[in-house]
Amino acid sequence: MAQGLTRRAFRAAGMFGSVQVVQMLCTMARMKLISVWIGPLGVGLMGLYMSAFEMITNFTQFNIRTAAVRDLSMSASDAGRMQVVTSVVRRYAWILGVLGALVMFVCAVPLSHYSFSDSGHAVSFRLLAAAVLFGSLTGGEQAILQGHDRLKELAAGGLWSSAGGLLLSVPLYRLLGVEGIVPSIVVYTFCAWVGVAVYRRRTSRRPEITVSASDTLRLGLDFMKVGFYLTMASAIGSVVNYVMLVYVKSHAGETALGCFQAGYAMLWRYAAMVFVSVSFEYYPRLASVSGSRWRMSVMVGHESEFIGRMLLPCACAAIAASPLLVRMLYSQDFMPVLPYFVWGMAGMMVRPLSMAMSYSFLAMGRGREFCFTEVASGIVGLVINILAFRLCGFAGLGIGLIVWMGVDVLIMYAVYRRQGLGLGRGVVLSGIARVSVAGVCAALQMCGLWWAVAVIAALSAVPAVKMLRN
């Protein structure tokens, strides 16, 4: 069983990992151009606008991208019901998208005042309303593709949208400078929608079914309930990031804000692509065995081990090459963020276990438990981040991330055990060992011993290769 799970997870990670790499390269190119043409101010403004966009999106769209997948997957054996659910998902994507756009438009002035202490940027926030609409439509189509098991089309859509978004937004940075940041976000979200919408007809050989308003409301209640809890969980993450960005800007200035946003992107967007790649296959598979606590426990333990072994050599290599990565992705002006990234990568090694456990709540339809763990973790993380940055700057943020992730996994495990699920002792011990190895690598890198970290990275790849070959 373990061998089959490993092969399936590796195939999914390979396919979506490739897409994530292309998307990462496009993001790298975009941030590089912003940092060179506009400077740290541009990176910081991009972070503020993106945080506001993500916050409004999370509050208004009930995480339809994830919530609808479970209902679509459960309808896979009934073609007629699958068509009905597909139509309902598309209708909700439009409704929630328009609602989110209206909220962004109305909240433009308060967002401008809170972010910049004036109303001069309200027009920019109003332009983001279009991005909110496109984001909702994209999420609906992505859920449908995943629910119909069209993973190749889903991956291809992400690939083409990233490339198209980069090509169309580059002239905006060059010609408009700071004023081109918001239009570039709108262009990116539009390209993301087009990238998945072109595969719309491939989700079914039958014509789309027209569903009445009453049936739309009734059938959508199931994934909307789960989506509500997902929304609350996602919103707390966006709020935490937004509050932290504003705190850094007000206490350390716009240059420090740009550096913080750069470090945050390197950790949570680039390093986390491993988690995103695996989750496309892991979540539906876990939901299919949600009736058996034993099988779910086995899958959670296996997934944690698989992700951990794949991530450790990558994390160690990133720590060894961290100065080069900062210069390559941004510029020499962003080097103050190096301690945050180095120590933060060690903290990211805790994520495989907490991520594997968190998806078990969604697979069982326990949105309330999922929401509780995310909200509790977010509040703890915000407190730790503010205290750590106030005491030790960027180095404190990195070490604080390790503490935060440690508390996060304890919260997750306490709720996980209450669901009748378990973890093998070996899974926990191997997770602790990997975090310790990454922590040693971070300490060595801060002492200038990058070559020793490179050796550890090479050695840590051996268990990953063995797992794939067995």
pLDDT per position as a tens digit, 171-200: 888 888 888 889 999 998 999 899 888 887
Hey, what amino acid is at 106? V
Q: Select the more confidently predicted residue: 162 or 403.
A: 403
| Residue of 20, 19, 22, 13 lying closest to 307 (CA atoms) | 13
Q: What is the pLDDT of residue 190?
A: 93
What's the pLDDT tens digit per position in 413-443?
999 988 888 887 888 888 889 889 999 999 9
Q: Select the more confidently predicted residue: 50 or 277.
A: 50
Q: CB–CB of 115/248 below 8 Å? A: no
Q: What percent of the chain has pLDDT over 70?
A: 89
CA–CA dist 260, 269 (Å, integer): 13
What's the pLDDT tens digit per position in 73-92?
666 666 777 788 888 888 88
Q: CB–CB of 33/333 below 8 Å? A: no
| Residue of 291, 295, 429, 271 lying closest to 355 (CA atoms) | 271
Query: Using 50, 70 and 90 to split pLDDT, how confident is the model at 6?
Result: low
pLDDT at 207 over 70: no
pLDDT at 206 over 70: no
Query: Which of 267-271, 272-276, 419-423 is the most confident on average?
Result: 419-423
Hey, what amino acid is at 10? F
Q: Select the more confidently predicted residue: 327 or 284.
A: 327
Q: Give the pLDDT mean for 110-125.
A: 85
Between 39-43, 139-143, 446-450, the lowest mean confidence (pLDDT) is in: 39-43
Q: Three-state SS for 174? A: helix
What's the pLDDT tens digit per position in 338-363?
899 999 988 888 888 888 898 888 87
Residue 98 CA, chain-centre distance (Å), reads 23
- Kindly state the tokens that stand for 150: 């069209």
Between 94-103, 134-143, 270-279, 338-347, the lowest mean confidence (pLDDT) is in: 270-279
Q: What is the pLDDT of residue 209?
A: 64
Contacts (Cβ under 8 Å, ≥6 apart) of 165: 26, 187, 188, 190, 191, 192
φ, ψ of residue 77 to 5 degrees: the values are -80, -10
Average pLDDT, whole number, for the chain? 82
CA–CA distances in Å: residue 107 to residues 103, 115, 128, 238: 6, 12, 11, 16
Q: CB–CB of 320/454 below 8 Å? A: yes
Beta strands in 306-447 (DSSP E): none
